């Protein structure tokens, strides 16, 4: 029996997925990864080694803010939320991604 691996993300797509996931409110890192996995019906699994460096880069860019709190497991966790600049970046990246997907579809249908 062949197991299906998670597809590799296009460069920059992780930022888009994180921004979109946080649009509905603050979450800690594990919850972000879990929500992406659930929303993709287990098609995407974000590893810690990719998630936390991306979150840190997004904090530096000013797209996210973070605050320590207590998770649903009663553990200390860092909760991330979108900043106004992060919301603007989400709009930009979502538009860019939609254009890219449309262009790929055109090539796949005609090439």
**Residue with structure tokens 């605050």?**
67
Output the pLDDT for position 4: 54
Residue 5, pLDDT above cutoff 70:
no
Angle subtended by helix axes 13-22 and 29-39, to nearest 10? 100
Residue 91, pLDDT above cutoff 90:
yes
d(CA 107, CA 9): 19
Q: What is the pTM of this model?
A: 0.87
Output the pLDDT for position 7: 63
Mean pLDDT, the chain, integer: 91
Q: What is the residue extent of each domain of the chain? A: 13-110
Q: Which residues contact 99 (CB under 8 A, 6 or more apart)?
A: none
Number of alpha carbons in the 13 Å side-chain half-sphere of residue 21: 26
Residue 86, pLDDT above cutoff 50:
yes
Residue 9, pLDDT above cutoff 80:
no
The domain defined by 13-110 folds into: Arc Repressor Mutant, subunit A (1.10.10)
Output the pLDDT for position 6: 58
Give residue-wise pLDDT tens across range 34-74.
999 999 999 999 999 999 999 999 999 999 999 999 998 89
């Amino acid at each position: 029996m062949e197991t299906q691996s998670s597809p590799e993300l296009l460069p920059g797509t992780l930022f888009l997925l994180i921004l979109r996931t946080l649009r509905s409110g603050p979450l800690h890192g594990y919850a972000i990864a879990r929500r992406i996995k659930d929303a993709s019906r287990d098609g995407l699994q974000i590893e810690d080694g990719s998630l936390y460096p991306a979150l840190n880069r997004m904090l530096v860019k000013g797209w996210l803010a973070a605050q320590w709190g207590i998770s649903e497991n009663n553990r200390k966790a860092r909760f991330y939320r979108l900043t106004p600049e992060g919301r603007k970046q989400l709009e930009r990246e979502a538009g860019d991604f939609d254009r890219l997907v449309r262009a790929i579809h055109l090539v796949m249908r005609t090439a």
